[in-house]
Homo-oligomer: A and B are copies of this chain.
Amino acid sequence: MTERSQGDGTVAKALMVMDDVAGFGRPVRFSELLDRSPYPKATLYRFVQVLTKQGMLHFDPDRQTYAPGLRLVRLAHAAWQTSALAPIARRHIDALSDAVGETVHLAQLDGAQVLYVDKRNARHPIEMFSAAGKVGPAYCTGVGKAMLAFLPNDQLDHAIAQQSFHRFTPQTYTDAAALRAELAAIRERGFAYDREEHEPGIICIAHPILTRAGRVLGAMSVTSTTARENLAGLDRHLPMIRTAAEAIAAEAQDWRFPDAAE
C-alpha cells in the first residue's frame, strides 16, 4: 500500500496505520486492516486501540468498523487556520470566482503531490472538506506544474523523481524530460496551462503564488471545459488571477514570511 519505513519510531508506525485507515475511504474492519498491514495481529490491534482511545480513529460498535476520528477534524481546523496561505487567500478566491464565474482552486505542494486547500465552485456553492484535503498529481495539473516550475533545483529533482507519470489522457506528460521542458516554458511565461492533461475536457490556467524571494507558497487556478472555452479564452482571466496571486503573496509575506534571504 504505502512505502514502509522501518524502525522509524512508534509514532511513525501509528501514523502509518492512520494512513491505511484513511486510505480505505470507508469504515474498515480490523481484519481488513490486518490484511494490508505489515504488522502482526497483536501489534496492529494495540495501535488501533490506542488511536481509538485518542480519538484519532472512531470505532463503530454496531458494525465493528474503524474510521478516521473527529480529533482529526479538530486538528485540521487548527492547521487550516494557522496556515499562512488559506485564511489569507479566502476573500481573494471569493472575489476571483465571482468575477470569472468559473471554478477556482487553491493548492499547496505537499511533498511531491498537490494538496488542494480551498476551492470555489461558481455553480455549486460549497464543497467543504470534500474539496480541501484532496490530493492530486503535480505533473499533470495546472497548479502542480505552476508550483514545480518555480521550485529550487534540488527540490525539483526530488519532486520529479517521485512523480508516477501515469498517462491519464493523450496529453499527459509521461516522462521527466518532457515535463522539464514544459516547466521551463512555464517559468519563462510565468504561469501554467492544463491542456486536458489530467482529465479529458478539463482545461485550466494556473498561477504560482511566490514570495518576493521567489519561494513557492502555493498556486491558484481557474478551471473550465473545452465545451465552453479554449486556452486563448482562459487568457482573459490572466490579469485577474495574476493580481489575486500577487495580492495573496504580498499579504502572506507581510503576515508571516518576513522572507529571510534563503
Which A residues contact B (CB, under 8 angstroms)?
9-12, 14-15, 18-19, 21-27, 47, 50-51, 53-56, 60, 62-63, 67-84, 86-87, 90, 94, 108, 110-111, 115, 117-118, 120, 125-126, 128-130, 132-135, 256-260
Contacts and interface: CB of A to CB of B under 8 A. Distances in A.
Contacts of A26: 82
Contact of A22 (B67, B79, B86, B110): B79
A125 B128 contact: no
A73 B80 contact: yes
A115 B19 CA distance: 23
B83 A79 contact: no
A106 to B, nearest CB: 10
B62 A73 contact: no
Contact of A50 (B12, B79, B111): B12
B130 A73 contact: no
Contacts of A19: 75
A83 B67 contact: yes
A256 B27 CA distance: 9
A114 to B, nearest CB: 11
Nearest to A70: B110
B15 A259 contact: no
Contacts of A9: 10, 50
Nearest to A68: B79
A23 B77 CA distance: 11
B15 A56 contact: yes
15 contacts: A15-B54, A19-B75, A23-B78, A24-B82, A25-B78, A25-B82, A60-B256, A62-B257, A62-B259, A63-B256, A63-B257, A70-B115, A72-B76, A77-B129, A77-B133
B117 A81 contact: no
